Structure 1
């Protein structure tokens, strides 16, 4: 069975099936003799995009009820407009979202709306014990801010380190030599925490003090790095860091697809979904199918066990009868 993940929801329909019930009314007429009825339209839409559309509608309805009063639809619309402006207008925006698999602006907005609802619902159902939070805090290190220069040649990296130690400007050398996209920002990587960089880079960066630069090139799968740590905050007390630690823990949970599957399945099962249209009965299998499979498996196991028991009883009866016959002889 195909399982659900947060990134796997597809919004392939631009028209909603809701409200398109069987009726003699026409949605279109062609001349004096031709027409397309609501029933014909419904059946055609159902066969092409019915399950995906129904899944989206059910997910949205269930999560709206789960979350309660909210303003996520307006937030989604505002986010889409802001994105559109940032990329240079509607035409460019539509081109970008079509590359992502969305046919219209409305589809993309619906996806953002659904993501906001999902995030809220999942957060509300995610909690940690005091012991779990304390254990996470014990190993937690605050984010650091760093820059780097990435080159392909180790000798070049060593030469750049020498130049910087002799007074050359790190940002200028990064702009001139770095082979990745950070070159245009003087090598700035911004703020990052544990688990966000490749292991070799992370180990070297977190070992440096604030204002310190690596004195030997750090080799990773991407090449040779020269790392400069510009900010390295001190770890606060548990009370000072508790909320930040909890947020990090939740974000880690929400990046775990298996956990998302588990919680979303629970939410959908709790909603008691009953799909009336037999042709669309599989629309929510990504959430509800597992139960059916487990039940079917349980029934099969029970039947197998019952059959084995009956066979065993028959064999025992036959053996007893044979023994009695031999005894009588």
Structure 2
């Protein structure tokens, strides 16, 4: 029932590596002739060259900007843990293939670059006292509720009447709720904060006092809810809440793709990257001011932008599926 959150970072890559130095060495033989490394390189460069070069540039630039770090080791450890959680490489590789990844090396590269991006954004982001104070004024502490989700309003009304007559909320949730994630736990959602749930549910929940139950069904895209407040954290002073607020503010920044791109643009531009291959000159255009982009004509530029956008959307989706 939680609304779908944006990713905490942007995946700028596909992890297929271009062939090394271009040579005439044969990589495959067919009845019609040989395929050389030159031909393979040219074909891969034309189809994925800009995307892969962008990945390689970003990793180099971010490593330089961040300095010494343990992110590569962290990524390797996280990958091993994930494989174990899936019961071994065979199952894990199947999940990857269903999520659009070629292999575990590609998935590992996604994890690694995302960690680099997150570290760079954290290092580049600060909040003023005024920003923290404004966030604090609008901030609502986390709450915990029980809820029963049903398909129709009449059933929800009947459940409210039973609760008002003394029926046990948790037992009704176990017997009636269609939210399988919470039903067995008596409908308890666990702690959540502002922005975590769909708006109508959240608004109704925050309006309750501890022990209070909604007296009219709460309609959302999922059905009709009956909600009971079971835990409502009191809002502390600004100083008491400051660390938590800054964490929430940073999480929002990491979930904002436009902000991530702006930070990446600052870092890439400061690095003075120079691309020698004219065919791949547009690889980092999305991080450069419009007047500095290298596309030679508007048609080529539009095509490249379209391909980049499609690639990023697909990669974000696959990364989310795998996680």
Answer whether contact 2:11 2:114 (CA < 8 A) is retained.
Answer: no
Shift of 1:59: 0.9
- In the superposition, the TM-score normalised over structure 2's length comes to 0.79
> CA-to-partner distance for each residue in 1:215-252, whole Å, 9 max, x for gaps?
32222232211112222111112111111111111111
1:26-105 to structure 2, matched below 5 A, reads 26=25, 28=27, 39-105=38-104
Answer whether contact 1:214 1:228 (CA < 8 A) is retained.
Answer: yes
Show structure 2 runs of 5+ residues with no match.
Answer: 1-7, 297-323
Alignment partner, residue 221 of structure 1:
221
Alignment partner, residue 10 of structure 1:
13
**What RMSD in Å do the two structures reach over aligned CA positions?**
2.8
Runs ≥4 residues deviating over 6 A: none
Distance 1:219 1:99 in 2: 34
Question: Is 1:173 aligned to 2:167, yes or no?
Answer: no
Evaluate the alpha carbon distance shift between residue 51 and residue 184 of structure 1 in structure 2; reply closer, same or farther with a 3 A threshold: farther
SS at match of 1:212: coil
Question: Is 1:111 aligned to 2:110, yes or no?
Answer: yes
Shift of 1:108: 0.5
Distance 1:266 1:65 in 2: 14
- In the superposition, the TM-score normalised over structure 1's length comes to 0.78
Evaluate the alpha carbon distance shift between residue 9 and residue 112 of structure 1 in structure 2; reply closer, same or farther with a 3 A threshold: same
SS at match of 1:229: strand
1:112-261 to structure 2, matched below 5 A, reads 112-182=111-181, 183-261=183-261
Higher gyration radius (CA)? 1
Answer whether contact 1:12 1:49 (CA < 8 A) is retained.
Answer: no
Question: Is 1:266 aligned to 2:272, yes or no?
Answer: no
Show structure 1 runs of 5+ residues with no match.
Answer: 297-329
Answer whether contact 2:211 2:228 (CA < 8 A) is retained.
Answer: yes
Distance 1:29 1:132 in 2: 60
Indicate the structure whose relative CO is greater, using CA pairs within 8 Å and at least 6 residues apart. Answer: 2
Distance 1:192 1:29 in 2: 56
Alignment partner, residue 277 of structure 2:
277
Answer whether contact 2:11 2:110 (CA < 8 A) is retained.
Answer: no
Distance 1:130 1:238 in 2: 11
Distance 1:122 1:214 in 2: 41
Answer whether contact 1:151 1:178 (CA < 8 A) is retained.
Answer: yes
Evaluate the alpha carbon distance shift between residue 118 and residue 83 of structure 1 in structure 2; reply closer, same or farther with a 3 A threshold: same
Higher helix share: 1
Evaluate the alpha carbon distance shift between residue 294 and residue 273 of structure 1 in structure 2; reply closer, same or farther with a 3 A threshold: closer
Evaluate the alpha carbon distance shift between residue 93 and residue 78 of structure 1 in structure 2; reply closer, same or farther with a 3 A threshold: same
